[in-house]
Amino acid sequence: RAAGVVRQPSWNQSFHTCISTIKMAAFFGPRNINRMRMITDHAIPRGILPKNMSISEIEFSNKVTGEWYSPLAGGPRPMQRVVLFLHGGAFVLCNPGTHRYLLMTLATLCEARILSVDYRRPPENPFPAALEDAVAAYDWLTKPHGPNISPSKIVLAGDSAGGGLVVSLLCFLRDRAIAAGEPPRLPSAGIMMSPWVDLSDTTSETWTMNAPIDFLPVDLAKICAGAYVGEGDARDPRISPLYADLSGLPPLMIEFGEAEVLASQILSFADAACRAGVDVTCTGVPEMVHVFQIFEVLASKSNRGPRASLARIGAFVKAMTPPSW
């Protein structure tokens, strides 16, 4: 298994070292999911994070938990703009704590509170557990017994597997309302960072073309996809939203790296969403790998890819929702 990384011109040494280290771990690390979690599931300690944000744990439904991120500077009442975030990690890895720096950055740029869902993970809890927990989080946010946030003030966001889960949640909410004979009360928009939208795909062009640069190995993708799919079908539209009916969804923003192995399926999804009549803003960032935004802290000033992407996301959230106060 080749695990070298072809350094890109915009990468500084710290960025390159980080990507190379992750790729070495991904290619030569364990293939047992519990052992992988021993490497990936460490929360970023709160003590080293910026002090301009409060982080609190919350249990909102049927023992489903999450973390609230609330900017401390603001008005006399809690911000009403909320980003419901679904973390990545190929469904089986990571948690809200592993994404704390990214989420704090997004909360500041979006001028919003963020609820990051600690959804149940496979193989202990295969599909549809993660989707059920995402639904529970959204229902809690919007119901009177919860924060009672208007859907117009909510944006869904996620990275990698969480990015695909954003679309699965939107489709579920739309279909549930239609089945009940009600008008859909969907979030104002969805944001997808390097979304994993086709769990059946390990052969599209960029899996080969970008393998020398990106850090995701094919065999690991197959293991994680199999754990999530369980006894189902990887092309089930509820699992792989590339195959879903995307009509009637709110505006979607897609940010991905042109050098990532998922680029082909991401572009196919963007095209399918456009053909379904969805307002899609899709930006491929040159020389960037999978979920490159999470490495923003390591990027030099000359590597504007991560910071520019996060800034676009912040502007999009503010454009799609009313003022937070």
Which residues are known catalytic residues?
A: 160, 260, 290
Edge-to-edge order in the sheet of strand 64-71: 53-61, 64-71, 113-118, 82-86, 154-159, 189-193, 252-257, 280-285
Backbone phi, then psi, for 118, in 5-degree steps? -90, 70
Contact 253, 314 (CB under 8 A): no
Omega into 128 within 30° of 0, i.e. cis?
Answer: yes
From residue 225, alpha-carbon distances to 33, 118, 294 in Å are: 12, 19, 22
Do the Cβ atoms of 68 and 58 come closer than 8 Å?
Answer: yes
Residue 152 burial class via C-beta count within 10 angstroms: exposed 0-12, middle 13-18, buried 19 and up:
middle
Contact in structure between 110 and 81 (CB atoms under 8 Å): yes
Show Cβ contacts of residue 60 under 8 Å, excluding neighbours closer than 6 positions: 66, 136, 137, 140, 146
Round to whole Å and give the CA distance between 162 and 308: 21
- Per the structure block, which two tokens stand in for 140? 């809690």
> Residue 308, Cβ neighbours under 10 Å: how many?
16
Give the contacts of 19 (CB within 8 A, at least 6 positions apart).
5, 11, 215, 289, 295
Element (DSSP H or E) covering residue 190: strand 189-193
